[in-house]
Structure 1
């Protein structure tokens, strides 16, 4: 019988020390590999949980775990050329967001928003460990039944904007 922690993707089965300089994983079908090269991924809270409708749709869940990071720190390997792109104009800013996903298994990979030209937003659900997020964006769009993530700054809409309850 196979190890159940391996089959279910138990994040606790992955020692954080393995990710001291980089974090790498693949889409569900293993066609695309994404590597984040950063030695601070797990030294402090990073990334954010996004509750906007588009991120929810892309993640297939009530929230999307994202990491906005400098483009030069992310390597995407797509040897079979299966990565697809959807250009999303239905955004809060009115500017386009290029949303990339695996054309074989549908796994979301990353987004490139025009409003953040030096950053890539990596979709963290594909990784064995996810850094603790530092904030929530579009917190006004949370469902009333959701639990609260203690210690996270909640922005009403965009990160860096008005905080929830101000």
Structure 2
């Protein structure tokens, strides 16, 4: 029998993630646990269309969540967590992008712009909350659609540079 497809998020009822959610890199060496109640009670996290996030995600958009660092537990079982210092950023401040050195799976990003916070790469989790916003919406490809109920910001979705492009289709 051939392998069955994996990763259908509908196989995981959000009620099982009331206090925390765990996910891993592709090879299983790195496990990340987000310890926060109500992750699925309201829209959380953001989609980012900046070139750097797209490259890290290997896709046309990255799914990220800004979390308090003390609510994130990273278990690096085999010592494969590596970090790249990304100096080509809009702010000029480096972003430290961590990933699995075996399978390349993105794990987290840290920047001085958000002290005490960490940007978690959501693709490694079995379920992803509906995003609360979309950043760098002006960098979307022309063929991309609008995500229902998700406001799109021209550049940043948080901070002084935020400028709303659209409210999303409700």
Would you call these one fold, judging by a TM-score over 0.5?
yes
Provide the aligned C-alpha RMSD in A: 1.4
Q: Which sections of structure 1, spanning at least 5 residues, go unmatched?
A: none
TM-score (norm 2): 0.93
User: Structure 1: which 4+ aligned runs deviate by more than 2 Å?
Assistant: 1-4
Q: Which residue of 2 aligns with 1:135?
A: 133
CA distance in 1, matches of 2:59, 2:31: 22
Q: Which residue of 1 aligns with 2:165?
A: 164
CA distance in 1, matches of 2:164, 2:63: 19
TM-score (norm 1): 0.95
CA distance in 2, matches of 1:124, 1:2: 28
Aligned length: 164
Q: Which residue of 2 aligns with 1:80?
A: 78
Q: Does 1:28 align with 2:23?
A: no
- Structure 2 SS opposite 1:158: coil
Q: Does 1:11 align with 2:12?
A: no
CA distance in 1, matches of 2:14, 2:78: 30
CA distance in 2, matches of 1:117, 1:53: 23
CA 1:76 to 1:144, structure 2 compared with 1: closer, same or farther past 3 Å? same
Q: Which sections of structure 2, spanning at least 5 residues, go unmatched?
A: none
